[in-house]
Homo-oligomer: A and B are copies of this chain.
Amino acid sequence: MAFREYLEQICSAVEGSVACSVLGFDGIAVDTFESRATDLDIPTLLVEYTTILNQVRAAAGVLQSGNVRELVISTDKLTAMSRPLTDDYFVVLALSPDGNWGKARYMLRVVSPRLQQEF
Q: List 30 A-B contacts (CB under 8 A).
A: A40-B63, A40-B64, A40-B65, A45-B63, A51-B55, A51-B59, A52-B56, A55-B55, A56-B73, A60-B73, A65-B78, A66-B75, A66-B76, A66-B77, A66-B78, A67-B76, A68-B73, A68-B74, A69-B74, A69-B75, A69-B76, A70-B73, A70-B74, A70-B79, A71-B72, A71-B73, A71-B74, A101-B101, A101-B105, A102-B102
Q: How far is the CA of A40 from the CA of B65 in the complex (A)?
A: 7
Copies in the complex: 2
> Does A44 contact B73, Cβ atoms closer than 8 Å?
no
In the complex, A41 has a CB within 8 A of chain B:
yes
